[in-house]
Structure 1
Amino acid sequence: MSQEIPLSSSEIATLWMTYQQKTMIRRMLEYFITHAEDDQAKEIMQDTHMQVVNYIEDIKTILKNEGAAIPVGYTEKDVNVVVPKLYDKMFDIMFLRLLKEISMGLHTLHLTMSYRKDMISLYKELTAFTQSGYDKCVDYLQEKNVLPRPPAVSVPKTVKFAEGTDYMNGLHLFSSKRALNTVEAAHIYYAIETNVLGMQMITGFAQVASEPEVKKYFVKGKELAKKVVSDYSKILLESDIQTPATWGAKATESKVAPFSDKLMMYCVSLFCSFGLGSNALGTAFSLRGDLPLTLVSTAKDILTYGQDGGKIMAKNGWLEEPPSMEDRNDLIK
């Protein structure tokens, strides 16, 4: 029985977006669970998979009660669990951790866009579930000593205020650049960490993609991630800050696809959107004049790359359209 208050356009949009993401995660986890070599990692992924399936059904129920169409999302046709391993040990949980980070941001945003009580409850539950799963991933990776920690810094003993505009130097060729502050270093370090994993992910995708155009697109993405890691690492090293590094989580030599080109393209699109959001935060909180220019240039490259991916998906019939608002001009013709 549908509630008296119908779903708003924002709530329909968030349900559609969540359904797309969760069905993708469901299919990818099915593959990673099949190839898990560590019982603890397998348990973490199985628990996540079970909860994700439940939330997919919850979304279906809400949409059915409203008389709305159920999205296609990603199905059993988009995964092949019996092919060889595409990634080395530890990639599965490191990848899941990053998916949890993306999900936490999305669920919190979707919560603020919801007005019906059942929708608010849904995103509160999703947020709590995602945070719990994220904690399990972090604990596991730290226990295995594969999660790189941000660089140490001396604890501040005094409070300082900027004296004049010298604090923001960095735009001029002959002006000296101050050392990064902790806020700037944190965002740059995080961008490197996520792009290192993204580079490994998309390297695997490039090895197994079926369509030549998709393979070429993934190779381009690998080079973009490599450029981000290189450019941002240089900024850290200029301030004598160590860059993140970890063992494991690499692509294997397999050339057999566990996922459809459609699913892999969507996954890369999701990462692009996440990268743009993270980059925007880094730009907003960077006070040294040269940093926003670098970050904005990176954002432009990511945006262009993401748009190119959208065109490939649309051309191949893989781009499922979000529910549309009524076209009044068309209706009154």
Structure 2
Amino acid sequence: MGVFGKSKANNLTAAEVSALWLQYLGDSMAICVYKYFLNIVEDKEIKPILENALQLAEGHITKITEFLKSANFQIPLGFTEDDVNVNAPRLFSDQFLLFYSYIMTIHGLTAYSLAVTNVERQDLQNYFFDCTVSSKELFQKITKLAINQSKYRSVPSISSPHGVEFIKSPGFISNLIGDKRPLNSSEISTLFFNSTKTGFISSLSLAFSQVAVREDVRNFMLKNVKLAGKDAESFDAILQEEHLPIPEKWDDEITNSTVSPFSDKLIMFHAGFLVNAALTYYGASLGSSLRTDIILNYSKVFTHAMEAGAFSYNIMVKHGWFEKQPNSD
């Protein structure tokens, strides 16, 4: 039925199936990741945050299973205990575990907000609202603790303008060469944010490249390290031109372990998830940027992410890891 039509109580629309299905895959992965994290964490302040994240993911899986079963819908396989080795040596520092949680909670909040606007059933709306609230509380705990960490960097501050101003020349936008106008607040925010996230992709790919078993998975991760690293540097370069601070990098928070905590299947899914999320954020940033050089840079990194997404898809299909999402009859 349409948005305002009536449907049976347990029926699921395509949008509802998509939201539940994708969250199931993501949370089943998160359970594997956080079980390993909890086996290596030593910091007594970071550990409760990891426990909270694991508890939320496990609760989500229980609720999603109930929703799908009540609609007589297939439950995804997702990721299981076969995809994690909790006894693997430490691959990440405790600070990186906190940074990882910060980035992934942002992704969760974004997904839940989108799901709320797409689902029609009130019980599902309430469920995703609950997910948003609990993730918001987790995010606040993470940021409160992260502020006191040595590698934490805030988005740059700017001064208040002296009165209301309006743009008087199209040169405000079209200044590819020569003197460039200063970055506005939206451009500073998105450049800093995308540098942080893209740098995270590079560092996580570095860790995965050390432990991947299959050669094609390892080679993909090494390529991702290079491309994501360059893309993060491109964001940093624009910020540095205006003497603005740039985010910290996290490569030195990766140990030299070569024993994988995760299956290659999970590693590739995780990489593909982050690449797809990057496409979303780059697209939104492109729409809020008004300087031509920044627009061109986002177009370039968007292309890089699309290429990485295609490579990750091909590898997952090749090895039989890409679980098919429900489609129309």
| TM-score normalised by the chain length of structure 2 | 0.95
Partner residue in 1 for 2:233? 230
Question: SS at the partner of 2:45?
Answer: helix
Q: Please state if 1:157 is matched with 2:162.
A: yes
Partner residue in 2 for 1:31? 36
Partner residue in 1 for 2:107? 102
Partner residue in 2 for 1:296? 299
Q: Please state if 1:253 is matched with 2:256.
A: yes
Contact 2:102 2:139 (8 Å CA) reproduced: yes
Tell me, in whole angstroms, the C-alpha distance in 2 between the residues paired with 1:240 and 1:224: 24
Tell me, in whole angstroms, the C-alpha distance in 1 between the residues paired with 2:53 and 2:10: 31
Q: In the TM superposition, what is the alpha-carbon distance from 1:307 to its structure 2 partner?
A: 1.0
Q: In the TM superposition, what is the alpha-carbon distance from 1:5 to its structure 2 partner?
A: 4.7
Q: In the TM superposition, what is the alpha-carbon distance from 1:145 to its structure 2 partner?
A: 3.8
RMSD: 1.6
Partner residue in 2 for 1:117? 122
1:6-21 alignment runs, 5 A limit: 6-21=11-26
Q: Is the deviation greater in 191-200 or in 292-301?
A: 191-200
Q: Please state if 1:284 is matched with 2:287.
A: yes
Q: Please state if 1:44 is matched with 2:52.
A: no
Contact 1:23 1:75 (8 Å CA) reproduced: yes
Summarize deviations over 1:201-245 as a string: whole Å, max 9, x none. 110000000000000000000001111122111111222222122
Q: Please state if 1:74 is matched with 2:79.
A: yes
Summarize deviations over 1:274-331 as a string: whole Å, max 9, x none. 11111111110111122111101110110111111001000000000101110xxxxx
Q: Please state if 1:131 is matched with 2:136.
A: yes
Q: Please state if 1:239 is matched with 2:242.
A: yes
Read off the aligned partner of 2:169 and give its amino acid letter. G
Partner residue in 1 for 2:3? none
Tell me, in whole angstroms, the C-alpha distance in 2 between the residues paired with 1:70 and 1:307: 26
Read off the aligned partner of 2:121 and give its amino acid letter. R
Partner residue in 1 for 2:213? 210
Q: Please state if 1:64 is matched with 2:69.
A: yes
Partner residue in 2 for 1:267? 270
Summarize deviations over 1:118-159 as a string: whole Å, max 9, x none. 111110111111111111111111123432112232222222
Q: Is the deviation greater in 265-274 or in 215-224?
A: 265-274
Question: SS at the partner of 2:46?
Answer: helix
Contact 1:26 1:53 (8 Å CA) reproduced: yes
Read off the aligned partner of 1:42 and give its amino acid letter. K
Question: SS at the partner of 1:235?
Answer: helix
Summarize deviations over 1:234-268 as a string: whole Å, max 9, x none. 11122222212267862100000000111011111
Tell me, in whole angstroms, the C-alpha distance in 2 between the residues paired with 1:89 and 1:13: 33
Tell me, in whole angstroms, the C-alpha distance in 2 between the residues paired with 1:283 and 1:253: 37
Tell me, in whole angstroms, the C-alpha distance in 1 between the residues paired with 2:119 and 2:18: 10
Unaligned runs of 5+ in 1: 327-333
Contact 2:31 2:54 (8 Å CA) reproduced: yes
Summarize deviations over 1:1-56 as a string: whole Å, max 9, x none. x9635111111111101100111111100000111111221111112211211110
Unaligned runs of 5+ in 2: 1-6
Displacement over 4 Å in runs of 4+: 246-249
Contact 1:29 1:45 (8 Å CA) reproduced: yes
Question: SS at the partner of 2:31?
Answer: helix
Q: Please state if 1:185 is matched with 2:188.
A: yes
Contact 1:91 1:248 (8 Å CA) reproduced: no
Partner residue in 2 for 1:330? none
Contact 2:211 2:258 (8 Å CA) reproduced: yes
Q: Please state if 1:197 is matched with 2:200.
A: yes
Contact 1:276 1:303 (8 Å CA) reproduced: yes
Partner residue in 2 for 1:329? none
Partner residue in 1 for 2:4? none
Read off the aligned partner of 1:312 and give its amino acid letter. I
Read off the aligned partner of 2:173 and give its amino acid letter. M
Tell me, in whole angstroms, the C-alpha distance in 1 between the residues paired with 2:42 and 2:61: 27
Residues matched between the structures, number: 323
Contact 1:198 1:225 (8 Å CA) reproduced: yes
Read off the aligned partner of 2:324 and give its amino acid letter. E
Contact 2:203 2:251 (8 Å CA) reproduced: no
1:240–1:122 CA distance, 2 compared to 1 (3 A): same
Contact 1:169 1:177 (8 Å CA) reproduced: no
| TM-score normalised by the chain length of structure 1 | 0.93
Read off the aligned partner of 1:146 and give its amino acid letter. K
Read off the aligned partner of 1:184 and give its amino acid letter. E
Identity rate, percent? 26
Contact 1:90 1:248 (8 Å CA) reproduced: no
